[in-house]
């Protein structure tokens, strides 16, 4: 061997011996050379100890077969350099993860495999811990009692958990990629969008506030949002928010407020008709209230209408009320919530007569003093799609 070649070989050996990566040279499956870093990584005390081993036996069977097949191809020049990340077992029995890359080289006039091995156990543990943390986070988010969502800087949904989807009545696939402003009512849209943009610009604004969303079925829900702006690993600005459905809380607050207002009106209003007008306005804040109040006189067995507001009928003969829905509420002492179909059924089964224009939805509750029913408070809707609900019934009964 010429002096030049000896110097080159010595230089490469020096580099290999001081490398932090394990390096080896093999022909077939027989080691010709291994540096100190490889001995350390694989737990070998000497090259002779490692030389006795077929390195593929240190790998899991499936990985060993795959690499063995690729080595054959590489030695024939059919395969380019490839990197494997596999699980291995050191000579002392300790499991590790390694990164293994090999390529074909010529050494001493024969084809050899030149390999580089890195211990990536720490990285794999970090990745596994991160994966577990992500799974834990996802589990917590998915089982949260509040809606959780992430939107990008173009207002589009990036993520929505199950509770948020349930709140709106959409599947995740129906939400992802859509503008979150589509699901706000008109009053909330500008308000929320303005806060969103100001937060994206880094302005200091309250992170918790209330607004109204519109579900797939058209129902409006009051929500309280708490949000924060983050930057993801790729530098994209995201807004992460948690929503709590506060519809029932807001409804309870309204009911309490209405009851208080009615109580105040009773004590402060001298004129009876003015009192009824005040009660109508208070109810109108809770629900669409084209309503009337019918009082019943037991002695004369007749109704009177001290207050009447209707979209179509300017007046109704009180004497007819006892034969209609109003009379049925008085007779049973129970409230009635009826859509068109229910109204028709009551007419067919109970002999209830049609009084005035047909309503799309009718809701009546008994007015009681102690256990005695003295009249009926009724509201009705003539607009398709605008119906009363069980919650409206509860509100009217409460008030």
Third-level CATH fold of 144-245: Beta-Lactamase (3.30.450)
Residue 155: which of 193, 189, 184 has the closest Cα? 193
Residue 83: which of 104, 100, 71 has the closest Cα? 100
Q: What is the pLDDT of residue 183?
A: 94
- Give the tens place of pLDDT for each residue, 267-280: 777 776 677 777 77
Q: Is the dihedral of CA 281, 285, 288, 293 positive or negative?
A: negative
Q: At what angle do helices 390-398 and 272-286 cross, to 10 degrees?
A: 150
Euclidean distance between CA atoms 287 and 280, whole angstroms: 10
- CA-to-CA separations, 31 to 35, 51, 64, 116, 258, in angstroms, rounded: 11, 6, 16, 13, 89
Within the chain, all domains assigned CATH 3.30.450.20 are found at 3-121, 144-245
Average pLDDT over residues 134-153: 76
CATH superfamily of 3-121: PAS domain (3.30.450.20)
- 354 versus 176: the higher-pLDDT residue is 176
Q: What is the pLDDT of residue 173?
A: 94
- Give the tens place of pLDDT for each residue, 327-354: 888 888 889 998 888 988 888 888 888 8
- Give the tens place of pLDDT for each residue, 27-51: 877 888 899 999 999 999 999 999 8
- 259 versus 6: the higher-pLDDT residue is 259
3 state SS for 201-216? CCCCCCCEEEEEEECC
Band the pLDDT of 393: cuts 50, 70, 90: confident
Angle at 168 between CA 165 and CA 169, to 5 degrees: 75
Residue 146: which of 221, 204, 220 has the closest Cα? 221
Average pLDDT over residues 158-163: 90
Helix boundaries (H) for 18-120: 36-42, 47-51, 61-75
Euclidean distance between CA atoms 225 and 182, whole angstroms: 16
Average pLDDT over residues 196-200: 74
Q: What is the pLDDT of residue 126?
A: 83
Within the chain, all domains assigned CATH 3.30.450.40 are found at 250-398
CATH of 250-398 among 3.90.25.10, 3.30.450.40, 3.90.550.10, 3.40.1410.10: 3.30.450.40
Q: Is the dihedral of CA 370, 309, 302, 357 positive or negative?
A: negative
Count Cα neighbours of 343 within 13 Å in the Cβ-side half-sphere.
19
């Amino acid at each position: 061997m010429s002096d030049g070649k000896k110097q080159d070989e010595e230089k490469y050996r020096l580099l290999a011996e001081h490398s932090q990566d394990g390096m080896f040279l093999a022909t077939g499956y027989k080691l010709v050379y291994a540096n100190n870093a490889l001995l350390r990584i694989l737990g070998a005390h000497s090259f002779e100890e490692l030389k006795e081993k077929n390195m593929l036996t240190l790998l899991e069977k499936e990985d060993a077969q795959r690499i063995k097949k690729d080595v054959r191809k590489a030695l024939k020049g059919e395969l380019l350099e490839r990197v494997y990340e596999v699980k291995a077992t050191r000579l002392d029995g300790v499991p590790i993860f390694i990164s293994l890359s090999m390529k074909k080289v010529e050494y001493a006039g024969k084809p050899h495999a030149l390999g580089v091995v890195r211990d990536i156990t720490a990285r794999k543990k970090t990745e596994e811990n991160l994966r577990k943390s992500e799974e834990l986070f996802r589990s917590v988010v998915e089982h949260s009692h509040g809606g959780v969502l992430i939107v990008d800087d173009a207002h589009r949904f990036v993520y929505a958990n199950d509770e948020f989807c349930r709140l709106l009545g959409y599947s995740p696939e129906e939400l992802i990629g859509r503008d979150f402003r589509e699901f706000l009512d008109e009053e909330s849209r500008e308000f929320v969008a303005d806060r969103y943009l100001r937060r994206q610009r880094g302005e200091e604004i309250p992170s918790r506030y209330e607004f109204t969303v519109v579900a797939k079925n058209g129902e409006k829900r009051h929500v309280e949002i708490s949000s924060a702006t983050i930057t993801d690993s790729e530098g994209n600005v995201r807004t992460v928010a948690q929503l709590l459905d506060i519809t029932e809380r807001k409804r309870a607050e309204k009911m309490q407020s209405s009851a208080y207002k009615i109580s105040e009106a009773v004590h402060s209003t001298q004129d009876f008709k003015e009192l009824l007008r005040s009660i109508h306005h208070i109810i109108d804040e809770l629900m669409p209230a084209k309503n009337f109040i019918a009082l019943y006189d037991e002695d004369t067995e007749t109704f009177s209408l001290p207050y009447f507001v209707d979209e179509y009928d300017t007046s109704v003969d009180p004497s007819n009320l006892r034969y209609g829905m109003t009379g049925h509420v008085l007779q049973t002492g129970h409230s009635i919530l009826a859509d068109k179909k229910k109204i028709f059924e009551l007419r067919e089964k109970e002999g209830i007569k049609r009084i005035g224009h047909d309503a799309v939805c009718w809701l009546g509750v008994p007015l009681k003093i102690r256990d005695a029913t003295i009249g009926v408070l009724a509201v009705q809707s003539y607009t398709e799609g605008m119906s009363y609900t069980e919650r409206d019934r509860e509100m009217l009964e409460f008030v």
